[in-house]
Chain A
Amino acid sequence: MSVTKRYAFAAAAAVLLIGLTFVIPSFASYQLATVCAYLCGIAGLTLLTGAGGQLSLGQAALMAAGAYSYALTANTMADAGTEGPLLLLVPLAAAVTGAAVLGLVIGLAAGRLHGPYLAGFTMALVVALPAVTSTFSSVLGGDQGLWITVEKRPASLRGTVSTEAWQAWLAVVCSVLVLTLLANLLHGRFGRHLRAVRDNPVAAALAGIDPARTKVTAFFISSAAAGMGGGLLAYTTQSASPGAYSLVFSLFLLMAAVVGGIGSLAGAVWGAVLLVALPHLISTATSRLELSADLAQRLDGNLAVAVFGLVLIVVVLLAPQGIQGLLDRIGRRLGPTRSVSVPPKSPTSPDSPDSAPSPASSTPTRLSARHEPEQLPATPKGQ
């Protein structure tokens, strides 16, 4: 029942966003596509770091794995003369698979690490990326990256739908798919296992959950989501290059997840939007100010980083549960009478933070959001 509703909601969101592309200018469609691609990566982090408590700084490397898998598959297929929808769908599947396989390998190693060790390990992956692409430059194209032959929008849509709108459609459909699957997982048995392992691995093991296996699976799923994000970016930008998946970008992904509200998929949406909108708003603002050329040159590119840093500090100080957590709190204050009944059977039970909802009757995304700030640093204690 609830799953059906989730599907209905996902479909509605997809239709709404696709409808939006008819109204907005094509540059905004391009931005929408980018938001959706980032969203896949951030949502993967929400599952891994938010619900799973495994701090990963390497999400960009996994997105890069997706992008390069897409590029290599698409170029090979195009050389072999493949055309049509296959040239779109097979590379996307390859992007997900490629990143997932890499994620599985990393996960097997990373499952043994926790806290700062895991963060350091995953960060090394991103730092190593340019070296890897230079070393295998005959295949991966070095710093310049790979130029991708992409299947453009169907001929029947040309003239009515811009390239950017088509890219946005694809990205919207794929990211809604990813989010729905992640929501299903987080709300189901796997999500409960994940949170149990995060909160207390020993207790989880006593309850019959295999912590190592759960962690590795979380890495696998998160990487698959990142792979989809990388594949979408590869498709929209027609290229895969190491510069697009830098350490800074990787940190931005984690930051977006934290600022949006780590542990909740709605927070991931906020994070993805901020990641695209903030630099754009800042550069628009600075371009309207009459700044000296020298100052404008210094601010260009750097100011966005500074503002991101400030936003992160402010959010962590004032709203540790992120934008989504803040909105929830405001919502609760504004509507105290609107007692939100979670389980249909007991409509009168108040949704107070002290109530300990059983996993089946509560919204696990919110549960994790509430526990996150205390639980994340506490995780290593249990190991």
Chain B
Amino acid sequence: MIRSKLRLGTAVLAAATLGLASCASPDEGGEAAAEDVPGITDTTVTVGTHQPLTGPAAAGYSTISPATKAYFDYVNDNGGVNGRTIEYIVKDDGYNPANTQTAVREMVLQDEVFALVGGLGTPPHSAVLDFVNDNEVPDLFVASGSPTWNQPEDYPYTYGFMVDYPTESRILATYAQEEFPDKTYCFFGQDDDFGEEFQGGLEAVLGEDGLADVQVYSTANTDIAAQISSMKEAGCEVNFLATINGFSAQAVGTAAKLGYFPQWMASSAGGDFNTLSGYLGENTNKLLQGFVSANYLPGYSDTEDEWTAKFSEINEEYNAGAPFDGNTIFGMSIGYLFVEALKEAGETPTRESLLEALESGNVTGNGHAPLGFGDDSHRGYTGAMLTRVDNGVQSYFGTPYVVSGDEVQEYTEERPAMPADGLPE
């Protein structure tokens, strides 16, 4: 008995020591922080993010963080921000909230990041929302269209980025009513807040019974033939998609196999042509002809656009010439917005001054619609523009729209001009 207890005791003790050893902070004895702001030294600013580098969402989104990193590297090579270089920690969470918990705790508690930038996904990020706000870590530009991030009262440290689902769904529905009146509208969405919020926005415009058929999928199950067949049988002509890229492609592909070619209208989260073509292969151009989706950032195919040209140049030089697509623009735009906010936060940024910079409204980003940041709003882009695919090229048409409340309006102001060399002034 004594011996067994000794053994258990030894195991517990040794285990504890092992645990301690494994947790020793790697950065002890580093440079003294300026006024002890976590993640800020005289020469560096450390920020972190959680991304799906593996798992079900990886194929659609794993190229975002390399693009953000490329932009930061570009900034660092041009003198950094007020003499500080940006160190960017990327942790893989596999789009699994349980992993996000660990990854974000590690970045906040151990790596002591100054802020989180562009954490991706509604389910993963929801899992750490309380944690980051309890720890008073700026949680900027969450890469998800959920309106959850816009709750300044409850979550003062969290800011959105993407146009939220209720907004883009209203824009898509309004356009559909104008362009395809008297057609049968249907909806295919993800079985979570993404789908629910999007459906809510559509019904706000189309009416409670405006959707003839509503189908949902779960990311764990990649076979969606049953849902698509049901939509086909219901005679759906215009199908709204609240799907991540992989499932947008799956929906279009499955429908084509069934000989069913409706008008697709996708959320910006699942409407990037290059990413979709990665799934659809050689028939992409035929399958995606006329595919409409919302977007708000510079279009990657729009070579006339100064932002696109600059980002493309940075991509060549700092991202090893990786395929240039919507994800690249997205990642770099998040990087740009953070650098803009950090510059605005002053010579010696603190977490408070960073948030004040965002609330001031002086941080404008590079979208076709304006950002909603202010005292009482942490909403990201407040509107969107529509894109259509024609002969394998996805490009913008019409004017941008902004949404406030249920009202969809055309937005006529000019997009902020790009500062010299794409570096915020």
Residue contacts A-B, CB under 8 angstroms, 17 given: A20-B16, A24-B19, A27-B110, A30-B102, A31-B19, A147-B127, A164-B109, A239-B98, A239-B126, A266-B11, A272-B15, A273-B18, A273-B19, A277-B18, A300-B54, A301-B53, A363-B4
Residue of B nearest to A135 (CB): B218
Contact A277 B12 (CB under 8 A): no
For chain A residues 28-66, which have a beta carbon within 8 Å of chain B? 28, 30-32, 34-35
For chain A residues 255-274, which have a beta carbon within 8 Å of chain B? 264-267, 269-270, 272-273
Write out the residue numbers on chain A whose beta carbons fall within 8 Å of the beta carbon of B192. Answer: 141-144
Contact B3 A281 (CB under 8 A): no
Write out the residue numbers on chain B whose beta carbons fall within 8 Å of the beta carbon of A270. Answer: 11, 15
Write out the residue numbers on chain B whose beta carbons fall within 8 Å of the beta carbon of A187. Answer: 1
Q: B122 at the A/B interface (Cβ < 8 Å)?
A: yes
Write out the residue numbers on chain B whose beta carbons fall within 8 Å of the beta carbon of A161. Answer: none
Contact B19 A143 (CB under 8 A): no
User: Which of A242, A266, A281 lies at the interface centre, i.e. has the most chain B CB atoms within 10 A of its CB?
Assistant: A266
Q: B232 at the A/B interface (Cβ < 8 Å)?
A: no
Please classify the interface of chain A as helix (H, G, I), strand (E, B), loop, or mixed, using the class held by over half of its residues. helix
Instruction: Tally the A-B contacts, defined by beta carbons under 8 Å.
Output: 168
For chain A residues 1-36, which have a beta carbon within 8 Å of chain B? 2, 5-6, 9, 13, 16-17, 20, 24-28, 30-32, 34-35
- Whole-angstrom distance between the Cβ of B18 and the nearest chain A Cβ: 6
Contact A300 B66 (CB under 8 A): no
Residue of B nearest to A261 (CB): B11
Q: Contacts A27-B109, A237-B98; is A144 near B10 (CB within 8 Å)?
A: no
Interface range for A: 35 or more
Q: A266-B4, A293-B66 are known; give 20 further A-B pairs, CB within 8 A.
A: A6-B5, A16-B12, A16-B16, A24-B19, A31-B22, A31-B23, A130-B218, A130-B221, A141-B192, A142-B218, A147-B126, A239-B98, A242-B220, A243-B95, A243-B98, A266-B7, A301-B94, A340-B3, A363-B3, A363-B4
Interchain CA distance A324-B7 in the complex, whole Å = 8
User: Which of A131, A137, A142, A324 lies at the interface centre, i.e. has the most chain B CB atoms within 10 A of its CB?
Assistant: A142
Write out the residue numbers on chain A whose beta carbons fall within 8 Å of the beta carbon of B220. Answer: 130-131, 134, 143, 242
Q: A163 at the A/B interface (Cβ < 8 Å)?
A: yes
Interchain CA distance A5-B23 in the complex, whole Å = 32
Q: B347 at the A/B interface (Cβ < 8 Å)?
A: no
Interchain CA distance A134-B2 in the complex, whole Å = 49
Contact B18 A328 (CB under 8 A): no
Residue of A nearest to B101 (CB): A237
Interchain CA distance A265-B10 in the complex, whole Å = 12
Residue of A nearest to B123 (CB): A144
Residue of A nearest to B15 (CB): A273
Contact A284 B26 (CB under 8 A): yes
Contact B4 A241 (CB under 8 A): no
Contact A297 B19 (CB under 8 A): no
Contact B221 A163 (CB under 8 A): no
Q: B130 at the A/B interface (Cβ < 8 Å)?
A: yes
Please classify the interface of chain B as helix (H, G, I), strand (E, B), loop, or mixed, using the class held by over half of its residues. helix
Interchain CA distance A273-B22 in the complex, whole Å = 10
Contact B193 A243 (CB under 8 A): no
Write out the residue numbers on chain A whose beta carbons fall within 8 Å of the beta carbon of B101. Answer: 237, 239
Residue of B nearest to A149 (CB): B130
Write out the residue numbers on chain B whose beta carbons fall within 8 Å of the beta carbon of A32. Answer: 16, 19
Contact B53 A300 (CB under 8 A): yes
Write out the residue numbers on chain B whose beta carbons fall within 8 Å of the beta carbon of A269. Answer: 8, 11-12, 15
Write out the residue numbers on chain B whose beta carbons fall within 8 Å of the beta carbon of A137. Answer: 191, 218
Residue of B nearest to A241 (CB): B97
Q: A288 at the A/B interface (Cβ < 8 Å)?
A: yes
Residue of A nearest to B107 (CB): A27
For the complex of A and B, the 9 pairs showing the least CB-CB separation, nearest first, are A244-B98, A28-B23, A27-B109, A243-B96, A363-B4, A130-B220, A134-B218, A266-B11, A273-B15
Contact A144 B126 (CB under 8 A): yes
Write out the residue numbers on chain A whose beta carbons fall within 8 Å of the beta carbon of B1. Answer: 2, 5-6, 187, 342, 363
Interchain CA distance A241-B220 in the complex, whole Å = 12
Q: A302 at the A/B interface (Cβ < 8 Å)?
A: yes
Contact A24 B20 (CB under 8 A): yes
Contact A30 B218 (CB under 8 A): no
Interchain CA distance A340-B7 in the complex, whole Å = 12
Contact A238 B127 (CB under 8 A): yes
Write out the residue numbers on chain A whose beta carbons fall within 8 Å of the beta carbon of B106. Answer: 27, 280
Interchain CA distance A302-B53 in the complex, whole Å = 11
Interchain CA distance A27-B98 in the complex, whole Å = 15
- Whole-angstrom distance between the Cβ of B96 and the nearest chain A Cβ: 4
Interchain CA distance A324-B3 in the complex, whole Å = 13
Q: A89 at the A/B interface (Cβ < 8 Å)?
A: no
Q: A86 at the A/B interface (Cβ < 8 Å)?
A: no
Contact A327 B126 (CB under 8 A): no
